[in-house]
Amino acid sequence: MLAAETLSKRFPGAAAPAVDRLNLKVAPGELFALLGPNGAGKTTTINCFLGFVPADSGRVTVDGLDVASEPLETKRRLAYIPEQVNLYDFLSGLENLDYFSQLAGHRYSKPELRRLLTEAGLQPEAHERRVRGYSKGMRQKVGIAIALAKRAKALLLDEPTSGLDPSASHEFSQVLHRLRAQNVAILMATHDLFRAREDANRVGIMRQGRLVHILSAAELRQTDLEKLYLEAMAG
């Protein structure tokens, strides 16, 4: 569903590439967690899939479609949740969902919008409250509901659990498991080693724009992920 083939990107004036000949695939129903320090290339990789950053070389595809040549069609198949989900504070969660759903070309009745918000884990009593009073976790749930409404085939997450308390992080994890069950491909950039171990089918460790380790779920159970991560960062 998501594929990068020898993807490289260097920003003007940078001493080294942000992404260096990256090969990566994420299948439907799979959650691939990208670990690495700031500057490792995680966010640049996600931005290449979104078409926000053009590749210097290599190829990025979504559902078999080339992002460079078919930017609109690939965006229709993607949903993106950044570290801080931007919503309209003066609208309710339900109104935000309705607005962004219509932007994506989908119209839903009020009961359908409520169902989507509930499926994303937002408490029913919060559906019609203004977003300005939402916690970060609640905003992310609206973001998940927007992804569900868009019927996205792939979900891109950039540090989604940063700043969440353990309870909110656990709830977010449960929503991701439900999306995987619906065959959504998920690429998640994170610093959260615990959530990566608990949630991902595979984990990739990035350093200086390269994937230096890829571990399956079975390998993760037998590996001291923190030790391996620290060793990779030390070179």
Q: Is the pLDDT of residue 25 over 90?
A: yes
> 131, 152, 173 — which closes off a domain?
152
**Is 8 in the same domain as 73?**
yes
Looking at per-residue pLDDT, the higher value among 88 and 170 belongs to: 88
Residue 83 domain-assigned? no
**Is 169 in the same domain as 69?**
yes
User: What three-state secondary structure class fits 218?
Assistant: helix
Query: Which domain covers residue 99, as residue numbers?
Result: 88-152
Distance CA 122, CA 104 (A): 21
Q: What is the mean pLDDT of residues 192-203?
A: 90
Q: Tell me: the pLDDT tens digits for 144-177?
A: 899 889 889 999 999 888 877 888 888 888 888 9
Residue 82 domain-assigned? no
Q: What is the number of structural domains in the chain?
A: 2
Give the pLDDT of residue 111. Answer: 96
Looking at per-residue pLDDT, the higher value among 49 and 217 belongs to: 49
Q: Tell me: the pLDDT tens digits for 91-142?
A: 999 999 999 999 888 999 999 999 999 988 899 999 999 999 999 889 989 9
Q: For 17-30, give one letter per residue: b (16+ CB within 10 A) or e.
A: bbbbebebebeeeb
Q: Tell me: the pLDDT tens digits for 35-70?
A: 999 889 999 999 999 999 999 999 999 999 999 999
Distance CA 122, CA 137 (A): 9
